[in-house]
Amino acid sequence: MAITTDHTRAVADGAHSHGVVPAGSRAERKTSFDLADIPVPTGREEEWRFSPVARLQPLFAEDLGAGGVLTTVVEAPEAKVEIVGKDDARLGTTGKPGDRTAVTAWNAAQEATVITLPAEAVASDVTSVRVEGVTKDVTAQHLLVRAEHHAEGVVVIDHRGDAMLNQTVEIVVEDGAHLTLVSVQDWTDGAVHASSHRARVGRDAKLKHVVVTFGGDVVRITPDATFTAEGGEVEMVGLYFADTDQHQEHRLFVDHAVPRCKSRVTYKGALQGVGAHTVWVGDVLIQAEAEGTDTYELNRNLVLSDGARADSVPNLEIETGEIDGAGHASATGRFDDEQLFYLMARGIPEVDARRLVVRGFFAELIEEIGVPSVRDRLIASIEAELEKSMSVITGIAPAAAGEAEQA
């Protein structure tokens, strides 16, 4: 038996909230397909306490439309794409909704896009799902990604444009399958997006789950992963970059319900600008039966300027002592001026030095994502984010129109 809880990397920025005990065990949280069971939140509930519920309000409504986004799938030759009615028996198998947006998304969606990697097929190309916001009509969407037994493949869901989207992404990884699922939130300003990812991971199956959030006003993603048989492995990787007045929230739940499964969670974020707010909550539950569990979760935040706030809450519940390892680490730090001094003392101008440090912060994670097209895109997005902050530092931000005439 080896239980390790790594606090060595935690820093006292008020980010690592050991003092806050969630309302009961994660296992006891209400989940249901029924709207009546999960009422509209007030914002005081554990799962909503960091969220801007006012801005999410439209997504809590019972009736949501369907026309706000345009979804285009370009599938790998081996993959199969279907549009099915809500009564399709394959829907709803990954678990019940666990919060208000998840339950309204489930009930409002009338059809679903199902992507299947057939049994034993090895996809020769990435399957890309492009979700483009076209109107601000509040919209529900349901996606199901299935990797049948021993299938292998990569599915990238790419969100762009402006939308009010409430989404369910079901993920089924059957025995022996290896699935990489990437969700990129590259919305324009104004977009509001809630998404419940619910994954089931079978015997000896592997899910790599990647979340990348850059754009949108409010993005709240709640990936849940449950192991259904022994030998499963889940790797959850996330990267986010919040600017002025952006709210980016990632709440993860890994349910070790069966023995001998492994989970790794690594989320990293950068924040800049007044009102930039990120939330990371990582719940891991090791149930009494889950002997031989091996889990570790890490969240790191880099605060680049004043007025930004990062909340980081790892929660580990362990109901058995017979585990291989369980730990978490959380650290939120300000940009390190000593690093800046060191680099500048080598002749590197401040703008370039800052860029090096931020790139360095994300470098390892970007390599871990392992999907070349996503990696290149990510690097470009980080560069674009850095351009914004650099223009503040160097004072070359464009002046407000009309100012020149006033002067």
What is the binding site for another protein (CB under 8 A)? 336-339, 341-350, 352-353, 356-357, 359-364
Other CB atoms within a 10 A radius of the CB of residue 253 amount to: 21
**Scanning the structure block, which residue is given the tokens 């909230």?**
17
Rounded to 10 degrees, the C-alpha dihedral 119/120/125/129 comes to 20
Please report how close the Cβ of residue 338 comes to another protein at its closest, in angstroms.
5
Closest approach of another protein to the CB of residue 9, in Å: 12
Least distance from another protein to the Cβ atom of residue 239, Å:
13
Q: How far is the CB of 351 from another protein (least distance, A)?
A: 10
What is the Cα–Cα distance from 37 to 109, expressed in whole angstroms?
A: 18
> Which residue lies nearer to another protein by CB, 87 or 337?
337
CA distance to 77, 105, 129, 257, 389, per residue, from 143 (Å): 19, 11, 10, 24, 35
Annotate 194-210 with DSSP letters as a single string.
Answer: EEEEEEEE-TT-EEEEE
The nearer residue to another protein, 92 or 238, going by C-beta atoms, is: 238
Distance CA 299, CA 283 (A): 12
CB of 250 to another protein, least distance (A): 21
Of 61 and 357, CB closest to another protein? 357
Shortest CB 405 distance to another protein, Å: 34
Provide, rounded to whole angstroms, the least separation between the CB of residue 191 and another protein. 30
- Interacting residues of 380 by C-beta distance below 8 A, sequence separation 6+: none
Q: CB-wise, 337 or 403, nearer to another protein? A: 337
As a whole number of angstroms, the distance between CA 230 and CA 9 comes to: 31
Cβ nearer to another protein, comparing 80 with 334 = 334
Minimum gap (Å) between residue 62 Cβ and another protein: 46
| Cβ proximity to another protein, 139 vs 330, nearer residue | 330
Percentages of the chain per state (helix, strand, coil), in multiples of 5:
20, 40, 40
Choice between 49 and 354, CB closer to another protein: 354
Residues 117, 171: Cα–Cα separation, whole Å: 11
Tokens found for residue 277: 């707010």
If the CB atoms of residues 48 and 361 are measured against another protein, the closer one turns out to be: 361
Collapse the DSSP code of 177 into the 3-class scheme (helix H, G, I; strand E, B; otherwise coil) and give the result.
coil
- From the list 255, 132, 124, 140, the residue with the least C-alpha distance to 194 is 140
